[in-house]
Chains A and B, each alone.
Chain A
Amino acid sequence: MTLNIAVIVKLEPDFSEGSVSYNPDGTLNRAETKSRLGAHSAIASLAAFYTKVKYGGYISICSMGPPMAEIALQEAQSISDADELHLYSDRLFASADTLATAEVLKQGIKKMNTGKEMDIVFSGHRASDGETGQTGPQTAWKLGFTFLGNVIDFSVDLNNRYIFAKRLVALPGFYDIVEEIQAPLPVFIAIDPSYKPTFDTISLRLTSGRYLKEAKERAVNYKSYLNVLDHKKLELDPRLVGLPGSPTIVHKVEKIPKARTTRSAELIEGDDRQGIINSVTKILQLIQK
């Protein structure tokens, strides 16, 4: 028996230096900023990969977004060795809030792997571009799956169809707790950013090596794994998606101004002895203060 694994991923602005671009008023310039698979989505893809290596499985990855979001799917495939890619793309999906997004994702997940029921759905902790972390729980609720958040480690009992998971519960200002949970499959897992898979036996290493090689080859031909689905193919009621399906009323959007740099860097060449002496003196003075 193997597992049916789904992963929800998101195309996000690449905030790294050289890729990100801001408008003069400090807001993100989406047109100029490069996009790529979000960091949390990458970790979710890695968790799916681990599951496939350890227990065997069929991985389907989905994303809701514009046509260019297929590059996020490609990157996720190169991490996870996905067997199938879904892109939910439709003008009607625009301006969706988390609930409307969850509706699309739920419907898509039901169509994965020729409609077989998923055993585990992975999502990232949350997105980095102004998402509120609710899409995951809402999709889980719509699917009727148990939701497990902040998962840092897990194992599956295939015979009895149980998952054992460790959750990192942070109590800000106090301490962190690791909670151990047992839940029946199917489950929806929001993977914690600190998750790190370990391949610590020969067979896991050999299998992961083989799948990883396959993943790189597949990702080159990702288009042959890709299904683009609109609201019709997903058999979605237009009233439940996009703006009409979004009950959220945005009260006010706080612009996050581009942070003013508070640091000022001074460039010292390696051969500038006096420069080096001056800065070391300055640092020493600051420490003494």
Chain B
Amino acid sequence: MENCDVTIVGGGSAGLAALKHLSSLGKQAILLEAGKEIGSKNVSGGILYSKKSNNGKIYNVEDIYGESFLNESPYERLITKYILNATSKDKIFSIDLTESHDYQTNFGVSVLLNKLNSWFAQEAQIEAEKLGGGIITGVHVRSLRWDEKSSKIIVETDELEEFETKVMIAADGVNSEIAEMTNAREKFSPSELYQGVKVLVKLPEKIIEERFNITNSDEGAAYLFAGDVSLNLIGGGFLYTNRDSLSIGGVYHYDSLLEHPIEPTEIVNAMLRNPLISELIKDDVPLKEIDKTLPKEEQVRKSFAITKLLNNWNELRQLYYSHKLKKKSIEDRKYTSEDEIKSKLDNLTQKLTNEYHTKFMTNYIELEYTTKLVPDGKRGRMKKPYYKNILFIGDAAGRGLFIGPRIEGLNVGIDDAARASIAIARSLDKNNFESNYLGDFYSQSIEQSPYTVDMKEIDKQYLGVILNSTRKKISPDALGFKHKLVFNLISNQGLRNFFISLINKYGYTRLLSFIESEDVYYKIPIKIADKLGTVKSSTYIPQIPTVQDRVAKLCYHEDTISHIKILNSGKNFLKKMVTLCPTKCYSLEGNDVVLQHEGCIECGTCSKETEWRHPRGEKGVLFKYG
């Protein structure tokens, strides 16, 4: 049987950071990823943060991948504007939260995970290879057992011969099968989870900069949304600017969704229909129409010709609106000047309009639809994130950090990865993988992480910064009697500190249901927008695709065998999945719920009461952007 020192299961941002860091520490490790390519299974909002803290060391992305991360990695935009928008119908009230965003932050960059994780993988592979390790994709870990004598883990996969490993890092995400097969933790309960939904909208680079008042082309904005866009659910929306696309979606408490099931697409649709957002995403969208009265062969010929012209039009338009591409094409002498590109683009537009009767309408273009569960670290993080010689990191360990406007999982997983790598390197040096040497050391290190502290306690200073930003724009009178009282109380620094000390002592988690309440998420924002907001109007009605259209755009490598098994088709939980599955894989037949696994995007929403596994290696959905 083959063997290796360290096996990392899962090639998301957490697992990849572990591979890179272990290799930097001179330890050989292999990483197994079920997806056909790295990045094809990972989803985020997403902003990747680098943070600092008074509570201790944080291992940031630049600690793992080098100080030149910002110069070399394919991130989208450096976020320099952070706005919270309260919504009520067509009224919007915006509060600038950039100061709270910058609180203890080195930087925050918008990212698309497929691209970013591929870059992480490339960097990690170079180091791992030198030590005889590396990344193996298309391999799904199916089960584990322990050699009684050596305590090594024997790993069984769907694709490879079984092999032995001294130690393992489980970085297999929120729906961790390693956690389930070892019973290291229970499946997360609905109150410990959020459902994240996102659509990626295409928009040319320069238009993004104009609409969001961005002056430096590498910078970008992030908007958060609370109020009626959340459809009376506990959660909120986000809109992040990428280089030439916008990430739009929401993150919602899963128990709130189970209580009032609503189709996940409706959550993003509510965002897209908000007049502020519809105006931000609008674009000229060509409508390919073919005269049906023409002979069939002529129709086909025309259709081919229009498709070709439209492809050229799209390419040229992307070039025209992109700083880098435009500059390069002129440097490469493909075009002599910006004017030439413009006139070629105009000619193409005219040709399409006049010769092929193509209409250009105001609408928006979606590139990808994604959904995934995210663990809430405040409630669900593993208190002891290990089992025997397996260490859990990232989403697999339940370590998402969601506090007010803070939505962080990527950076937390990277911090975990560094801590796990250090613990393992120490164990390898001493050849001691006992729980009291490896697991406990890692567990202590995780407890000391400033992120864990943030999951356990309210940070007085941070709350103060948020309240300051809010106070600048909102008079407490706008809040109504009850909320005005609370607001005034916590605005007083002395009282605030007293209350927070009390809360932190009493147990922050016990009070979470009061803090993360309907009032905070939508009642107060609606009230504020109603009273103080300005009316926004939309100049068009966005034509929103159906779920079927959205699914049809995704790429799949279908497995004939279903990776999900229904345990009891008559159960109430499954009936809710008919609504809550983002791709409508569940339907009702009489009183029974049936599942059609084709089309599943592996979000995990149905995993609580099903036998749920990831598809076999290379199978299932392949996200192009993530």
Residues of A within 8 A of B (CB): 200-203, 205-206, 209-210, 266-267, 269
Q: How far is the CA of A128 from the CA of B114 in the complex (A)?
A: 39
A267 contacts B135, C-beta separation under 8 Å: no
Q: How far is the CA of A206 from the CA of B292 in the complex (A)?
A: 55
Given A206-B30, A266-B296, A267-B300, the answer on whether A200 and B129 have CB atoms closer than 8 Å is no
Q: How far is the CA of A202 from the CA of B28 in the complex (A)?
A: 13
B475 close to A (CB within 8 Å): no
Q: How far is the CA of A133 from the CA of B150 in the complex (A)?
A: 55
A201 contacts B133, C-beta separation under 8 Å: no
Give chain A residues whose Cβ lies under 8 Å from the Cβ of B139. Answer: 205
Q: How far is the CA of A46 from the CA of B134 in the complex (A)?
A: 22
Contact among A200, A266, A267, A269 for B160, CB-based, below 8 A: A200
B163 contacts A201, C-beta separation under 8 Å: yes
Q: A200-B161, A205-B160, A210-B129 are in contact. List 17 more A-B contacts (CB 8 A).
A: A200-B159, A201-B2, A201-B161, A202-B2, A202-B4, A202-B30, A202-B136, A202-B160, A203-B2, A206-B30, A206-B132, A206-B133, A206-B134, A209-B134, A209-B135, A267-B300, A269-B292
When C-beta atoms are compared, the residue in chain A nearest to B163 turns out to be A202
Q: How far is the CA of A200 from the CA of B136 in the complex (A)?
A: 11
Contact among B4, B161, B296 for A267, CB-based, below 8 A: B296
Can you spell out 14 A-B residue pairs with CB atoms less than 8 angstroms apart? A200-B159, A200-B160, A200-B161, A201-B2, A202-B2, A202-B4, A205-B160, A206-B133, A206-B134, A209-B134, A266-B296, A267-B296, A267-B299, A267-B300
Q: How far is the CA of A209 from the CA of B160 in the complex (A)?
A: 15
B132 contacts A201, C-beta separation under 8 Å: no
Interface centre among B160, B292, B299, B300 (most CB of A within 10 A): B160
Contact digits for B133-147, partner A, Cβ 8 Å, 1 yes 0 no: 111100100000000
Q: How far is the CB of B173 from chain A (nearest CB, A)?
A: 21
When C-beta atoms are compared, the residue in chain A nearest to B159 turns out to be A200
Q: How far is the CA of A209 from the CA of B128 in the complex (A)?
A: 12
B136 contacts A205, C-beta separation under 8 Å: yes
Q: How far is the CA of A210 from the CA of B126 in the complex (A)?
A: 10
Q: How far is the CB of A18 from chain B (nearest CB, A)?
A: 11
Q: How far is the CB of A196 from chain B (nearest CB, A)?
A: 14
Give chain B residues whose Cβ lies under 8 Å from the Cβ of A266. Answer: 296
Give chain A residues whose Cβ lies under 8 Å from the Cβ of B163. Answer: 201-202
Q: How far is the CB of A15 from chain B (nearest CB, A)?
A: 21
When C-beta atoms are compared, the residue in chain A nearest to B1 turns out to be A201
Give chain A residues whose Cβ lies under 8 Å from the Cβ of B296. Answer: 266-267
Give chain B residues whose Cβ lies under 8 Å from the Cβ of A203. Answer: 2
Give chain B residues whose Cβ lies under 8 Å from the Cβ of A205. Answer: 136, 139, 160
Give chain B residues whose Cβ lies under 8 Å from the Cβ of A200. Answer: 159-161
Closest 7 A/B residue pairs (Cβ): A205-B136, A206-B134, A201-B161, A202-B2, A200-B160, A201-B2, A202-B163
Given A201-B2, A202-B2, the answer on whether A209 and B136 have CB atoms closer than 8 Å is yes
Q: How far is the CA of A206 from the CA of B4 in the complex (A)?
A: 12
Contact digits for B410-431, partner A, Cβ 8 Å, 1 yes 0 no: 0000000000000000000000
Give chain A residues whose Cβ lies under 8 Å from the Cβ of B30. Answer: 202, 206
Give chain B residues whose Cβ lies under 8 Å from the Cβ of A210. Answer: 129, 134
Give chain A residues whose Cβ lies under 8 Å from the Cβ of B136. Answer: 202, 205-206, 209
Give chain A residues whose Cβ lies under 8 Å from the Cβ of B161. Answer: 200-201
Q: How far is the CB of B306 from chain A (nearest CB, A)?
A: 14
Give chain A residues whose Cβ lies under 8 Å from the Cβ of B292. Answer: 269
Quick one: which of B149-199 are within 8 Å of A by CB?
Answer: 159-161, 163
Q: How far is the CB of B68 from chain A (nearest CB, A)?
A: 23
Quick one: which of B31-50 are within 8 Å of A by CB?
Answer: none
Contact digits for B96-137, partner A, Cβ 8 Å, 1 yes 0 no: 000000000000000000000000000000000100111110
Give chain B residues whose Cβ lies under 8 Å from the Cβ of A267. Answer: 296, 299-300
Q: How far is the CA of A261 from the CA of B292 in the complex (A)?
A: 25
Q: How far is the CA of A205 from the CA of B2 in the complex (A)?
A: 12
Q: How far is the CB of A214 from chain B (nearest CB, A)?
A: 11
Q: How far is the CB of B35 from chain A (nearest CB, A)?
A: 15
B134 contacts A201, C-beta separation under 8 Å: no
Give chain B residues whose Cβ lies under 8 Å from the Cβ of A206. Answer: 30, 132-134, 136
When C-beta atoms are compared, the residue in chain B nearest to A266 turns out to be B296
Q: How far is the CB of A186 from chain B (nearest CB, A)?
A: 30
Q: How far is the CA of A274 from the CA of B547 in the complex (A)?
A: 24
Q: How far is the CA of A266 from the CA of B299 in the complex (A)?
A: 11
Contact digits for B369-390, partner A, Cβ 8 Å, 1 yes 0 no: 0000000000000000000000
When C-beta atoms are compared, the residue in chain B nearest to A269 turns out to be B292
Give chain A residues whose Cβ lies under 8 Å from the Cβ of B159. Answer: 200
Give chain B residues whose Cβ lies under 8 Å from the Cβ of A269. Answer: 292
Q: How far is the CA of A203 from the CA of B3 in the complex (A)?
A: 9
Interface centre among A206, A210, A266 (most CB of B within 10 A): A206
Q: How far is the CB of B290 from chain A (nearest CB, A)?
A: 8
Contact digits for B281-322, partner A, Cβ 8 Å, 1 yes 0 no: 000000000001000100110000000000000000000000
When C-beta atoms are compared, the residue in chain A nearest to B3 turns out to be A202
Q: How far is the CA of A206 from the CA of B2 in the complex (A)?
A: 12
Q: How far is the CA of A200 from the CA of B132 in the complex (A)?
A: 17
Q: How far is the CB of B194 from chain A (nearest CB, A)?
A: 35
Q: How far is the CA of A206 from the CA of B128 in the complex (A)?
A: 11
When C-beta atoms are compared, the residue in chain A nearest to B290 turns out to be A269
Q: How far is the CA of A192 from the CA of B299 in the complex (A)?
A: 43
Q: How far is the CA of A269 from the CA of B292 in the complex (A)?
A: 10
Q: How far is the CA of A266 from the CA of B296 in the complex (A)?
A: 8
Q: How far is the CB of B131 from chain A (nearest CB, A)?
A: 11
A201 contacts B300, C-beta separation under 8 Å: no
When C-beta atoms are compared, the residue in chain B nearest to A206 turns out to be B134
Give chain B residues whose Cβ lies under 8 Å from the Cβ of A209. Answer: 134-136
Q: How far is the CB of B623 from chain A (nearest CB, A)?
A: 22
Q: How far is the CA of A203 from the CA of B135 in the complex (A)?
A: 11
Contact digits for B466-485, partner A, Cβ 8 Å, 1 yes 0 no: 00000000000000000000
When C-beta atoms are compared, the residue in chain B nearest to A209 turns out to be B134
Give chain A residues whose Cβ lies under 8 Å from the Cβ of B299. Answer: 267
Q: How far is the CA of A210 from the CA of B300 in the complex (A)?
A: 46
Q: How far is the CA of A209 from the CA of B129 in the complex (A)?
A: 10
When C-beta atoms are compared, the residue in chain A nearest to B160 turns out to be A200
Q: How far is the CA of A202 from the CA of B139 in the complex (A)?
A: 10
When C-beta atoms are compared, the residue in chain A nearest to B132 turns out to be A206
Give chain A residues whose Cβ lies under 8 Å from the Cβ of B160. Answer: 200-202, 205
Q: How far is the CA of A80 from the CA of B163 in the complex (A)?
A: 27
